[in-house]
Homo-oligomer: A and B are copies of this chain.
Amino acid sequence: METKTGTTTEGCCSVLVQPIDTADAEPLARAFAALGDPVRLRLFSLIASSGPVCSCDLLEPLSKSQPTISHHTKALAEAGLIVGEKQGRWVWWSAVPRRVEELRAALSAR
């Protein structure tokens, strides 16, 4: 069934990920939770796709207040998904490729 997708469900390939240890689960879940809000997910995708982005450039496309944007950037930063470099009055946010790779790996087989 559903062998059309290329991801067959027979033999070795039925395994998508390996069981996650209790200790590893918390930080991983933290990162997934950070992407678990629609606004924050779009916020992250904007930063990750446009390179370093100023916070001021995020208010309009997301239609949220300044404190809300600040709240979300903080959440993403604490999850290790983005880092902010302060330059004068501005903060330039950029994604952390290594962290994203960790999430992708957790969703991969083996």
Residue ranges of A at the interface with B (Cβ–Cβ < 8 Å): 2, 5, 7, 9, 13-20, 22, 25-26, 28-30, 32-42, 44-46, 48-51, 94-95, 97-98, 100-101, 103-104, 107-108
Contact = CB atoms under 8 A, between A and B. Distances in A.
Given A15-B51, A107-B104, A20 B37 contact: no
B37 A29 contact: yes
B20 A45 contact: yes
A46 B19 contact: yes
Nearest to A5: B98
A81 B9 CA distance: 14
A42 B25 CA distance: 7
16 contacts: A5-B98, A7-B101, A9-B51, A14-B94, A15-B49, A16-B48, A16-B49, A16-B100, A20-B42, A25-B38, A29-B38, A29-B40, A30-B36, A32-B32, A34-B36, A104-B104
